[in-house]
Amino acid sequence: MTDLSTVKAALKAQSIETPSWAYGNSGTRFKVFAQAGVPRTPQEKIDDAARVHEFTAAAPSVALHIPWDRTDDYPALAAHAAGQGVRLGVINSNVFQDDDYKLGSVTHPDPKIRRKATDHLLECVDIMDATGSRDLKLWFSDGTNYPGQDDIADRQGRLGDALAEVYERLGDDQRMLLEYKLFEPAFYATDVPDWGTAYAHCLKLGPKAQVVVDTGHHAPGTNIEFIVATLLREGKLGGFDFNSRFYADDDLMAGAADPFQLFRIMYEVVRGGGLAAETGVAFMLDQCHNIEAKIPAIIRSVMNVQEATAKALLVDPVALRAAQQAGEVLEANAVLMDAYNTDVRPLLREVREEQGIDPDPIAAYKRSGWADHIVAERVGGTQAGWGA
Amino acid sequence: MTDLSTVKAALKAQSIETPSWAYGNSGTRFKVFAQAGVPRTPQEKIDDAARVHEFTAAAPSVALHIPWDRTDDYPALAAHAAGQGVRLGVINSNVFQDDDYKLGSVTHPDPKIRRKATDHLLECVDIMDATGSRDLKLWFSDGTNYPGQDDIADRQGRLGDALAEVYERLGDDQRMLLEYKLFEPAFYATDVPDWGTAYAHCLKLGPKAQVVVDTGHHAPGTNIEFIVATLLREGKLGGFDFNSRFYADDDLMAGAADPFQLFRIMYEVVRGGGLAAETGVAFMLDQCHNIEAKIPAIIRSVMNVQEATAKALLVDPVALRAAQQAGEVLEANAVLMDAYNTDVRPLLREVREEQGIDPDPIAAYKRSGWADHIVAERVGGTQAGWGA
Amino acid sequence: MTDLSTVKAALKAQSIETPSWAYGNSGTRFKVFAQAGVPRTPQEKIDDAARVHEFTAAAPSVALHIPWDRTDDYPALAAHAAGQGVRLGVINSNVFQDDDYKLGSVTHPDPKIRRKATDHLLECVDIMDATGSRDLKLWFSDGTNYPGQDDIADRQGRLGDALAEVYERLGDDQRMLLEYKLFEPAFYATDVPDWGTAYAHCLKLGPKAQVVVDTGHHAPGTNIEFIVATLLREGKLGGFDFNSRFYADDDLMAGAADPFQLFRIMYEVVRGGGLAAETGVAFMLDQCHNIEAKIPAIIRSVMNVQEATAKALLVDPVALRAAQQAGEVLEANAVLMDAYNTDVRPLLREVREEQGIDPDPIAAYKRSGWADHIVAERVGGTQAGWGA
Amino acid sequence: MTDLSTVKAALKAQSIETPSWAYGNSGTRFKVFAQAGVPRTPQEKIDDAARVHEFTAAAPSVALHIPWDRTDDYPALAAHAAGQGVRLGVINSNVFQDDDYKLGSVTHPDPKIRRKATDHLLECVDIMDATGSRDLKLWFSDGTNYPGQDDIADRQGRLGDALAEVYERLGDDQRMLLEYKLFEPAFYATDVPDWGTAYAHCLKLGPKAQVVVDTGHHAPGTNIEFIVATLLREGKLGGFDFNSRFYADDDLMAGAADPFQLFRIMYEVVRGGGLAAETGVAFMLDQCHNIEAKIPAIIRSVMNVQEATAKALLVDPVALRAAQQAGEVLEANAVLMDAYNTDVRPLLREVREEQGIDPDPIAAYKRSGWADHIVAERVGGTQAGWGA
């Protein structure tokens, strides 16, 4: 039997980092629909992220994306965040939007382009020093669109060289999180397409290199929780970029497309000890709110991760283990499903009340007037977006 | 045994329409890499398309996209095309880039937005009258991103109403080509997601409504040639948007990702009589050349369709039928593969020489100096793109 | 606000038919693991099915599979069922296990084989007359493994001919349910691969021909509830073969792999009026319990369908419609999710108590001793299976 | 420019191992269609395999499958093979057909079952000693069908223990080839589902453990040649199980479904030096000829691999590298496509004539009378099959 106070304590301890770029405009290649009230500056993104934390008590940090959030005074940005009740989180590099990167960044055939890209990654570590961020998250759009376009094996070599150089630059308490993605924007061969490739590189680099799992970056049918369990077991799970998808990298709200999958993932995290702070597993969102209001969508996503976590924590480990050991297929499945089928929203309301916040974050946000405030205040200037 | 002069005649008769937008910039949500020399105007797109026809003798028409190619004098545009040796082709509507269409166009819950969208479609028929275009191609990005967002069945009703109104407006020699697409930009439920939906609507509308098959718009594993054979048999195959994909709607060059699939598709076209002009099957490209030079990529795509067609024409129908009737699996497959494994490039070189053009279109284009010419001439102004 | 008594009434009225073959042995091409106590005869299958109904009050009929359940006295079989408290349901034809059908049944290139296959289908209608079954369910394994093996369009013609002949044979109150499947056992081109093909045939045949949706028979990423909504709107949804899958046609317990999908499907059924008896939508299971105990797995599956139905019935249609009409994406989605996140197990326990059965069907079945009984009694003879 | 004599030499040096089980009956869970003339004994399988080698000069070895090919005198079996002009190849273990393995073999929760399974693997090494086989190929059907059924991480631990024990038993010149597969027969979580898992285990085991790539064992959209290039670069590519698929693990003839993919795979093999004997890359077939005649299907598969290899060898490495280095996307792709579009059948006919065999293996096999011979001779007894 699971102890409810332990469950509550675990839920209170869980932090879910929100990404600065999710507060800005986003869309597809067909259209970016701008929304009124969207931030114009990193500071305004942080202000929005602070509202998510204010109403959930679960999102105390904001991930930055360089150059989208570049500033000439990171300590001031960190102070701004602190003033809002949040802190700066993971630094995300961007080596996919400069014209030079048309054929790749750290895997480009031209060493000058590779140098430029690696220098950007090193700059990101400088920024980490300035912001106090622990983690550098690396996602590479590198890849090829046509068979023969470039040499697959050579590109792995170039990638390995760049990663090694950046790894050397990391401080003692800093980590490199390497993200993989099946496709998009590369449409033939992506240079880090799967967890195996990311794992192989991280293994060579050393303990400060870890794999990050973006839940939208897999081939159809991939069992993501298997990857999570395996990486945790190998000590190589650096964290998650949560979002959800029906088709490709749809970047919908976490838990919106397949809440059962999110539960299964969180179960493996709980099972593998990944909720413990010392494992360093980072829970992050990476989403695009193309047509829905951004702040409440992010609040909903945080709540969805919490609900999945709560259900995972409710799985009775003793009963489950007993049924598994006895080879009782239906009974073991039933133990898991019993937790999944539980409505954990009352429990989470209790947790929030114990944390001193409104039990209904969405309603509280709506009542706060922030949505109207930003529409009224954020007039003029250039709205933040992906800059594509 | 297939008669070679018949094959050559069929190849000379095949026309492949190129899309005006493929000459402009395109990209992904991550980045549009602009290319030097890209057209600024519909006229310049037509000029580029004319080069493709000049060097292939197989691409005599250019599809327009409204509003990207909107002009206040379509007869003048048609005259410009004629002056370049090509003609205006299919009119493609666009009801996905106006801010009003965030939640749909003809399926939007708000009747005012639906009215606006339908009016645009009707305007496209006006343009067809002005350009002499036979076909209106309809692709709707309409759909929803989240379960519950809107009512799936109601949206079908709204779609049917709009299609019926536009159908009524068509002239006697005009057609409506309805395109389907599994996903993107809608990530939960697309309103015309598959050939069945498009077919059901076209059947209700009448003989001037036909289905168009975009080879990149299917779920993984879909047997596209089965759809082609079925639609041809039902008299409902309006045409193709050719491109190729490894993953989703990658919009790579036709024949680049799976040349055997393109051959199988063209075999079903040949088998079903779809090369005959009277069937009205339109062969069109719909591609994005995000990282490669656009004009030679389109020339290559036209050549790839020609090569697939040539191989399809080389299939020995008598031997194939005999093996099929006898239930000889390996022999029947071998007849098909024998044609596919044939190198038809010498045959196509002969065809081109008989048509009075250079047997090597890519080399001829390179020698023509057009690439340098457009880079030098097209300076300033706004390059054409998707306008997203 | 949804009225709870209406919800309960709808749940009590819902019947879920279980398939006779699910009580027998099944497996993969790699291995069929026999289970102790498995039925040897159609009568014993019916006995097991009666236990499912006894403990769920929701599974009053059993589908038969011919020739697996062939008998020389169908009235006696029907009487046996009645004696057990259940009735005979849909008749499933089988034209895939005779050696003659290696290259197809009704689509075979040889007219003698087609004749034999069609005769079997006609025999199934005779059996329907004898059993009083309303529905003939047709699934064809027909297709080809290699490109060129047979003519895709010709096979459609042969299929249409056979269907028309069987349709003519149907009585006034009998229906033909045509099932589609993407692949397996055909690995290149299946002759009824998707709902569009089944729909096109049913439309030509007439009102007694309807499409049946097997939830495991789609390409990855297919939005099944869209198909359900569309077929219901067109009056062509004959029913469901429920099961669940992570990869292909895995035939796992309904609701086991993606309970949210099952809920979305049932929501579209409710929304489209498909729970009403007059629409004739048949709710059937079609599953394989390869490694788990069969009877409790089927009880669990029935309960899973009930839970999905209960959640679908709890969706507040007024609130949903209001949010949809207002274009409030998050609010509309939240209405749906609120129902999905509700734990409906207490409600279903109440329903069962009101029906006079144990609120916990699994526990009641375990206590009943039936599992031990059949292991002890069913010794010797040949266990039922697929006969492959 | 590629030197033709080098190409020919490489083609003559390539050996493709055929699997004993492909000569026996196979099918799907729906039906196994027996074929006349199918072998009844390992000796007869070897006789058939010898015909494939006789007519292709490219298939000098036969893989065995234990227990399907179990005998009490392996030296005699090896002598029989030698007498037929072939030799015994890889030993394939089978821990999926015993009733004990319903819930797993080396990953089973019960240590007694794990012991039994590991003992079988050790027995296979004994057989390797007796046959002189170099490689032990391990494919595990192990996995779970339902979430919660067993502990994912624990199963990895059990798997690792068993592999380590078998690894220790290997002789100095023996290898362990670990195969991965996405799904089937496990439908939720397969224990070795992807190359990353296989790679991680092989890395821990040591240099005698290598990954084997079955071309039908991936998720839709997986870029197999990327995996091949990566494993080759890491020195961990043990070999291939060739076959082809449109959907899942269809096990069709190699090159039948996507000949361009097979070419791209072989290009990466050539590029990575994998044709050289010292790399130890084993080229094997693993196919099911469910509806087509088996021996000619295997001959055709061998020829398809040869044709893909020939095309890969024809890629001009200097021109390709130059275009890649220059970032010329279309030119680089064109170099690859030029080789692919070449009809290499005349070249292979020359190679065969130089090897002293008929240039047309299929025709020669047909003329040989072997097909009639085995139908006439192999009467009575039990045909070989999978024994499922």
- pLDDT for A221-249, tens place per residue? 999 999 999 999 999 999 999 999 999 99
pLDDT at D388: 54
Q: Which CATH class is domain D14-314+359-377?
A: alpha beta
- Best residue of D25, D28, D288 to probe chain C, by most C CBs closer than 10 Å: D28
Residue C158 sits at the vertex; the CA angle it makes with C155 and C164, to the nearest 5 degrees, is 140
How far apart CA A52 and CA A49 sit, in angstroms, is 5
- Nearest-Cα residue of chain B relative to residue A289: B145
Which runs of consecutive H residues, i.e. helices, occur in chain D? Answer: 4-13, 42-56, 74-84, 111-131, 152-169, 195-205, 224-233, 259-271, 294-314, 317-325, 329-341, 345-354, 361-368, 370-377
Q: How many angstroms separate the CA of residue D2 from the nearest CA in chain C?
A: 33
Confidence grade of residue B3 (pLDDT, cut at 50, 70, 90) = confident
Q: How confident is the model at residue B1 (pLDDT cuts 50, 70, 90)?
A: low
Flag whether pLDDT at C254 surpasses 80: yes
Query: Which ranges of chain B does DSSP label H, i.e. alpha helix?
Result: 4-13, 42-56, 74-84, 111-131, 152-169, 195-205, 224-233, 259-271, 294-314, 317-325, 329-341, 345-354, 361-368, 370-377
What are the tokens at D37? 């003339």
Query: Half-sphere exposure of residue C65, counting CA atoms within 13 Å on the CB side?
Result: 20
Inter-chain touch A307–C341, beta carbons under 8 Å: yes
Q: What 3 state SS string does chain C have?
A: CCCHHHHHHHHHHCCEEEEHHHHCCCEECCEECCCCCCCCCHHHHHHHHHHHHHHHCCCCEEEEECCCCCCCCHHHHHHHHHHHCCEEEEEECCCCCCHHHHHCCCCCCCHHHHHHHHHHHHHHHHHHHHHCCCEEEECCCCEECCCCCCCHHHHHHHHHHHHHHHHHHCCCCCEEEEECCCCCCCCCEECCCCHHHHHHHHHHHCCCEEEEEECCCCCCCCCHHHHHHHHHHCCCEEEEEECECCCCCCCECCCCCCHHHHHHHHHHHHHCCCCCHHHCCEEEECCCCCCCCHHHHHHHHHHHHHHHHHHHHHCCHHHHHHHHHCCCHHHHHHHHHHHHHCCCHHHHHHHHHHCCCCCCHHHHHHHHCHHHHHHHHCCCCCCCCCCC
Residue B388's pLDDT band (cuts 50, 70, 90): low
Token couple for C188: 């290149």
Rounded to whole angstroms, how far apart are CA atoms A239 and A312?
Answer: 17
Q: How many beta carbons lie within 10 A of that of residue A68, not counting itself?
A: 18
Contact: B34, A291; criterion CB under 8 Å: no
A349-363 pLDDT tens trace: 999 999 999 999 999
State whether A291 and C342 contact (CB < 8 Å). no
Residue of chain C with shortest Cα separation from B227: C197
- Strand-pair partners of A244: A252
Report helix, strand or coil for A346: helix
Answer yes or no: do A152 and D225 touch at CB < 8 A: yes
Domain boundaries, given as residue ranges, for chain C: 14-314+359-377
C172 in contact with A, Cβ within 8 Å: no
D3 falls in which pLDDT band (50, 70, 90)?
confident
Strand partners, B65: B92
Between CA A363 and CA C331 the distance in angstroms is: 11
pLDDT value of residue C11: 98
pLDDT in tens, B134-165: 999 999 999 999 999 999 999 999 999 999 99
Neighbours of chain C (3+ CB pairs under 8 A): A, B, D
A341 part of contact set with chain C, CB < 8 Å? yes
Nearest of B381, B314, B363 to residue B343 by alpha carbon: B314
A224 within 8 A of A244, measured Cβ to Cβ: no
| Nearest residue, CB atoms, A109 vs list D103, D109, D325 | D325
The interface residues of chain C toward chain A in range 68-97, judged by CB-CB distance below 8 A, are none
Which tens digits make up the pLDDT trace of D303-348?
999 999 999 999 999 999 999 999 999 999 999 999 999 999 999 9
Residue B27 host element (H or E): strand B27-28
- What's the CA gap between C324 and A259, in Å, rounded? 22
Q: Which SS3 state, helix, strand or coil, does residue A379 take?
A: coil
Report the mean per-residue pLDDT for chain C.
97
Asked whether the predicted pLDDT for residue C388 surpasses 80, the reply is no
ipTM score above 0.90 = yes
Q: Are strands A189-190 and A143-144 parallel, antiparallel or unpaired?
A: antiparallel
In whole angstroms, give the CA distance from residue D291 to residue C100: 12
Q: Average pLDDT in the A118-138 region? A: 97
Smallest CA-to-CA distance from B142 within B168, B195, B167, B179 is with B179
Q: Percent of chain C having pLDDT more than 70?
A: 99
SS3 (DSSP) at D189: strand
Which residues of chain A from 311 to 340 reach within 8 Å of chain D, CB to CB? 315, 320-321, 324-327, 329-330, 332-337
R_g over Cα of chain D: 21
Q: Answer yes or no: are the C-beta atoms of D330 and B292 closer than 8 Å.
A: yes
Mean local confidence (pLDDT), C212-221 = 98
Please enumerate in sequence order all residues whose Cβ is within 8 A of that of B301, keeping only pairs 6 or more positions apart, or say none. B242, B243, B253, B254, B255, B256, B285, B287
The yes-or-no verdict on residue D362 having pLDDT over 80 is yes
Residue numbers in B near C233 (CB within 8 A): 153, 156-157
Enumerate the residues of chain A whose CB falls inside 8 A of the CB of residue D157.
Answer: 233
* Nearest-angstrom CA–CA distance, D145 and A55: 40
Beta bridge partners of C16: C283
Check CB contact under 8 Å for C293 and A330: yes
Task: Tell me whether residues D31 and C182 touch, CB distance under 8 A.
Answer: no
User: How many CB atoms are located within 10 Å of the residue C356 CB?
Assistant: 7
Nearest to C220 among D103, D145, D220 (CB): D220
pLDDT at C177 over 90: yes
Q: Residue C5: is its pLDDT beyond 80?
A: yes
The total of other beta-carbon atoms located within 10 Å of residue A303's CB is: 23
- Least CB–CB distance from A327: residue in D109, D197, D337: D109
- Given a cut of 70, whether residue D1 has pLDDT beyond it is no
**Structure token digits, residue D87:** 């030799």
Residue-wise pLDDT for A142-197, tens only, equals 999 999 999 999 999 999 999 999 999 999 999 999 999 999 999 999 999 999 99
Residue pLDDT, tens place only, B310-360 = 999 999 999 999 999 999 999 999 999 999 999 999 999 999 999 999 999
Report helix, strand or coil for A176: strand
**Per-residue pLDDT tens over the stretch C360-384:** 999 999 999 999 999 999 999 999 9
Residue range C23-29: mean pLDDT, rounded? 97
**Min Cα separation D323/chain C (Å):** 35
> Environment class of residue B364 by beta-carbon count within 10 Å: exposed (0-12), middle (13-18) or buried (19+)?
middle
How does pLDDT run across C102-157, given as a tens digit for each residue? 999 999 999 999 999 999 999 999 999 999 999 999 999 999 999 999 999 999 99
Q: Structure pTM?
A: 0.98
Burial status of residue C87 (CB atoms within 10 A of its CB: 0-12, 13-18, 19 or more): middle
* pLDDT above 60: residue A388: no
pLDDT at position A354: 98
Confidence of residue C1 (pLDDT cuts 50, 70, 90): low
Q: How far is C262 from chain B (nearest CA, A)?
A: 12
Q: Give yes or no for residue A387 having a pLDDT over 90.
A: no
Nearest CA of chain A to the CA of B183: how many Å? 7
Residues A178/A163, Cβ–Cβ less than 8 Å: yes
CA of B30 vs chain A CAs: smallest distance (Å): 6
CA distance B222 to chain D (A): 9
Task: Give, for B178, the enclosing helix (H) or strand (E).
Answer: strand B175-179
List pLDDT tens digits, range D115-171. Answer: 999 999 999 999 999 999 999 999 999 999 999 999 999 999 999 999 999 999 999
